[in-house]
Amino acid sequence: MSERRATVVTLAVVAAGLLVAPFAFNGDYEHGLLVGVCINLLLLTGLNLIVGVAGQISLAQAGFYGFGAYTAGILGAEAIGPVWLSVLAAPAGAALVALLVGAPSLRLRGLYFTMASLGAGVVLFLLFGRAVSLTGGPNGLLGVPMLEIGGIVFDTPLAMYWLAAPLAFAGLAFAGWLAASRWGLAARAAAASEPAAAVAGVPVFRIRLALFTLSGAYAGMAGALETYESGFVSPEPFGFFAAVTLLVVLTLSGAGTLLGPVVGALLLFGLDELLAEADDIRPLVVGVLFLVAVQALPQGVVGAISDRRRARRERRQARPETATETETEAVTA
Amino acid sequence: MTDLLQLTFSGLTTGAAYALVALAFAIVFRGTRAINFAQGEYVMVAGVSAGALHAWLDLPLAVVVAVVIVVGALCGVLTELVCVRFVRRDDPHTVTLATIGLGVAIKAVALILTDRKAYTLPGFSGDTTLHLGGAAVDAQALWNCLLVVLAAGGLAVFLRAVPLGVALRASADDAEMAAASGFSRRAAAAWSFGIAGALAAAAGAGLAAVSPVNYDFGTLLGLKGFAAAMLGGLGSMPGAVVGGFAIGLLEAWFSGYVSSAYADIVAFAVLLVVLFSRPTGIFAAVRVERV
């Protein structure tokens, strides 16, 4: 299967899944969970751009997610501008923050970039909890209104789903296109060997900055959806643990692949469902899963499967040559 | 003036803990080139188990401190087992990521075992307050500073005069060469993590004597200790001590004169400023990779 055909087939399967899901899982509670899957899909697709495509490990995604959630929440609660505008302001604001963070941090490489992204993420998280007059502090932000766009009120989880699902799908499709485009290729080349890419004329820094900014926009959009889905924002879901969880799930499912974020969003969903009754065990499961992922599946589930398929294909193609080799051996013997 | 003195002492108390944690980061970084994110959790494990030991068994304080330092060292050795041996790839990147996973797991186990309870230790010399220039300060500040002096001094002697310490320095300098002369990278990693655990445990005991500690207090503390290590220059021992006290003092002064709500941000603001302007820190120990 050619790469382009694989992309199209993957996207078609995801689209079909998103279309069928709300009918297969009917009910307000189930629809709410599905909105959650779409939000996680956006978060992971965005994270995949900087981690999977550009090869720069970021721990700032949870902070950008929170920035989007609070931007939408504060604009909505204070009734600054129309409500629909706050949904656009969230990704724009988070992208701007990502740009400001990325401009100095992406000058650093490897672990040093990760550390800078971690610092920025922690600063954002602390601000959510401490800027009480703006965010409501640890008690959370109250008074988020119902989302209304052009006369349509998104007052049920199903309505929110029909907003979130197309956005998540568009996000995935765009990321898929971008990863296969010349910019995506250039970013991959730079991840594989930075000097080689730079010598070949790839503007490494600018491409990474663009991908990081974009990952912020995805997180911001996810934040706005989360805010209007739950009608409430508190700092807790945007901390260090959330940043680590996102990275774990992406690593485990397959960073750098189109299907990775999809598998990851389902994995998070499964994790949430499985551990719904046992909140205290969740961090333990995430921690152990992470260690196992790093040990056994350095390329994630999707990467491991495609590796195995490639290996099988290569074995099949290699067979005739093996035969000639044995023949030559027989002759020389 | 009394304000300043009081804030300075509280800055020294926490700064000493940051200095110990930063020293631990430095040791591990030199031994493995990795950053040990489970570090803060050792501090937590030590602090909580010190409090628990004191509450259950009523052991003398010196024994409690000695026991938790051993516990910390064991945590360090566990980290080496899990993050280097189990993961089977000893590139620093993978080890660093693995320590994040281990840190999350350690914290989760502590959460389950302690059921969110908080523990305290009495001050090392009772609840003595010292009166200095009109300010009443907790004597624990001096104990914590003494811990740093002992740890830093002990390390300096160990790394120069003890054969094992010299081998560790050799390995930090050129791991291949040291391995060729019989001190493997595995051994360097195991010893580095073990020493780091003991250092972090001393910090944990010192902090439990100041305020109650629970399963949750290690993560932020570890990250602040990392900021301190970066400020001093990752891998530099004097840098770690200077960075730790500098962050502790800045934080205390900021919380006294500017805002206590935002004081936690100081360490991370410093981290970002250091990374963006002088990634090698004050005492440059390593070459930083830049584009």
Q: Which of A130, A315, A318, A116 is nearest to A209 (CA)?
A: A116
With an 8 Å Cβ cutoff, are A105 and B271 in contact? no
Q: Enumerate the domain spans of chain B.
A: 14-218
% pLDDT > 90, chain A: 49
Chain B hits for A295, CB-CB cut-off 8 Å, are 86-88, 98
pLDDT at A319: 61
Q: How confident is the model at residue B96 (pLDDT cuts 50, 70, 90)?
A: confident
Q: CA B229, A242, A265 angle in degrees (round to 5)?
A: 140
* A144: pLDDT strictly greater than 90: no
Q: How confident is the model at residue A165 (pLDDT cuts 50, 70, 90)?
A: very high
pLDDT tens string B189-199: 899 999 999 99
Residue A252's alpha-carbon distances to A266, A271, A298, B161, in angstroms, are 12, 13, 8, 45
- Beta-bridge partners for B119: B213
Residue with the bigger pLDDT between A308 and A190: it is A190
Distance CA B280, CA B291 (A): 15
Distance CA B72, CA B66 (A): 10
* B62: pLDDT strictly greater than 90: no
A108 — contact with chain B (CB < 8 Å)? yes
With an 8 Å Cβ cutoff, are A116 and B87 in contact? no
A79 in Cβ contact with A205 (< 8 Å): no
Q: How confident is the model at residue B291 (pLDDT cuts 50, 70, 90)?
A: very low
pLDDT mean over A251-274: 87
With an 8 Å Cβ cutoff, are B276 and A116 in contact? yes
pLDDT at A328: 43
Q: How confident is the model at residue A305 (pLDDT cuts 50, 70, 90)?
A: low
* A279: pLDDT strictly greater than 80: no
Contacts of A279 (CB under 8 A, 6+ apart): none
* Interface-testing mutation among A59, A105, A106, A111, with chain B (most B C-beta atoms within 10 A): A111
pLDDT at B197: 94
* B60: pLDDT strictly greater than 60: yes
Q: How confident is the model at residue A323 (pLDDT cuts 50, 70, 90)?
A: very low
* A195 to chain B: closest CA residue: B291
Closest CB from A122, A248, A282 relative to B268: A122
Residue B105's alpha-carbon distances to A63, A246, B73, B75, B219, in angstroms, are 22, 16, 18, 12, 12
- Beta-bridge partners for A147: A154
% pLDDT > 90, chain B: 39
Contacts of B168 (CB under 8 A, 6+ apart): B30, B31, B159, B183, B188, B191, B192
With an 8 Å Cβ cutoff, are A115 and B35 in contact? yes
Distance CA B254, CA B108 (A): 32
A175 in Cβ contact with A258 (< 8 Å): yes
pLDDT mean over B167-179: 84
A225 in Cβ contact with A218 (< 8 Å): no
On average, the pLDDT of chain A sits at: 87
Domain annotation for chain A: domains and CATH numbers = 3-298 (1.10.3470)
Residue with tokens 């499967």: A305
A106 — contact with chain B (CB < 8 Å)? yes
* B264: pLDDT strictly greater than 50: yes
pLDDT at A40: 96
pLDDT mean over A298-320: 68
Distance CA A2, CA B4 (A): 69
Distance CA A99, CA A288 (A): 33
A169 in Cβ contact with A14 (< 8 Å): yes
With an 8 Å Cβ cutoff, are A126 and B268 in contact? yes
* Range among A58-67, A102-111, A150-159 rated most confident: A58-67
Residue B134 neighbours by CB distance under 10 Å? 9
Q: CB-hemisphere CA count at 13 Å for A52?
A: 33
* A329: pLDDT strictly greater than 50: no
Give the ipTM of the model, two decimals please: 0.86
DSSP state letter for A229? H
A103 — contact with chain B (CB < 8 Å)? no
Q: How confident is the model at residue B140 (pLDDT cuts 50, 70, 90)?
A: confident
Residue with the bigger pLDDT between A143 and A235: it is A235
Distance CA A74, CA A215 (A): 22
pLDDT at A303: 66
* B103 to chain A: closest CA residue: A287
pLDDT mean over B151-162: 90
pLDDT mean over B4-22: 91
Chain A hits for B220, CB-CB cut-off 8 Å, are 122
A294 — contact with chain B (CB < 8 Å)? yes
